[in-house]
Amino acid sequence: MATVSEEKNVVSSATAGFPTVRMRRLRTHPKLREMVGETHLSANDLIFPLFVRYGENRRVPIDSMPGHSQVTIDLLADEIAEVDSLGIPAVILFGIPEHKDGIGSDSYDDHGVVQQAVRAIKQSGSDVLIITDVCFCEYTDHGHCGIVNDRHGELDVDNDATLQILVKQAVSHVQAGADVVAPSGMMDGMIAAVRSGLDETGFENVPILSYAAKYSSAFYGPFREAAESAPQFGDRRTYQMDPANAAQALREIELDLAEGADMLMVKPALSYLDVVRRVKDAHPGVPLAAFNVSGEFSMVKAAAGNGWIDEQRTVLEVLISIKRAGADMILTYFAKDAARWLA
């Protein structure tokens, strides 16, 4: 066995005549590490999800998502003021209706919970970018993302019938003042339908952020508590993407771009960083978002709460990894905390 001295001699011999290259020189000073950093994360990269509900002066804590609550519309001004103060440029709204039915009619009601929330934010004087989630799982009594047909006991979401009410929802959100709509139901043709619906009602300048590659993921569990949207039967694998597929995501994205999507999203983020990278490589000029979803949030919170990991370091590492993979925007429940840590 070679001694340490002998090993050093071997190294010296191998590098004889060459200057000594030490990568560690670039890591010796914190300011230098920042200056040579390849990926930069800031509050401006973040989008904060908000759950809004009917009622007055209520914050209903979400047990599986510590620090988050369903918030009534009258308390939104305070939420938005905090978002503004932290330099977070955008929020995405998810609504919890008072009453649910088979077609999610509250989702496109002019006085629906999201429509009222959008108006309240606009009236607060904030210039925060308002994105609305356009889907039905929170609004339907069965918890699926569209109109459900019973075909011999098998789950069938009626794609084309769902598109018609999807358009009504998107238009109603924009009429209330939404700046961006984000269709998330993974219905075929949903972007073309929403684009046509917006254009025909005079909203041709409103951009669409498409949940273009939304996977049927186990990481959505806490969200289903937060949005009260768990399916009452079956599951969503007949319309959300199979976690085994990456090339298929590229096809979904190409279709959505052809139909008029302005921005794209991959959801979830962490288990699909390879997909984020592939999408960005295929379409470098298209703004790309990734959703750091509820299960990813709750796992970090649980581990940090038990003292197993450093929450701040872990969160920032997670977010920088998402951006490094190619995301231009990150939807994350850590947005407020991350903005404070990055300030």
Which residues have a catalytic role annotated? Answer: 214, 267
Distance CA 260, CA 85 (A): 34
Q: Residue 335: CA atoms inside 13 Å, Cβ hemisphere, count?
A: 31
* β-strand partners of 61: 69
CB count in 10 Å sphere of residue 42: 12
Distance CA 329, CA 264 (A): 10
Are 188 and 195 within 8 A, CB to CB?
no
- For residue 260, give Cα distances in angstroms to 117, 146, 250, 329: 27, 21, 15, 19
Distance CA 209, CA 128 (A): 16
- For residue 54, give Cα distances in angstroms to 112, 190, 198, 225: 9, 28, 27, 16
DSSP summary character for residue 208: B
Which residue reads 């039967």 in tokens?
A: 233
* β-strand partners of 149: 156
Distance CA 295, CA 220 (A): 6
**Which residues fall within 8 angstroms of residue 10, CB to CB, at 6 or more apart?**
2
In this structure, the strands spanning 90-96 and 46-53 are parallel
User: Which element (helix H / strand E) includes 294?
Assistant: helix 294-305
Longest Cα pair distance anywhere in the chain, in angstroms?
80
Q: What does 140-175 look like in DSSP terms, one character per residue?
A: BTT--SS-EEEETTEEEE-HHHHHHHHHHHHHHHHH
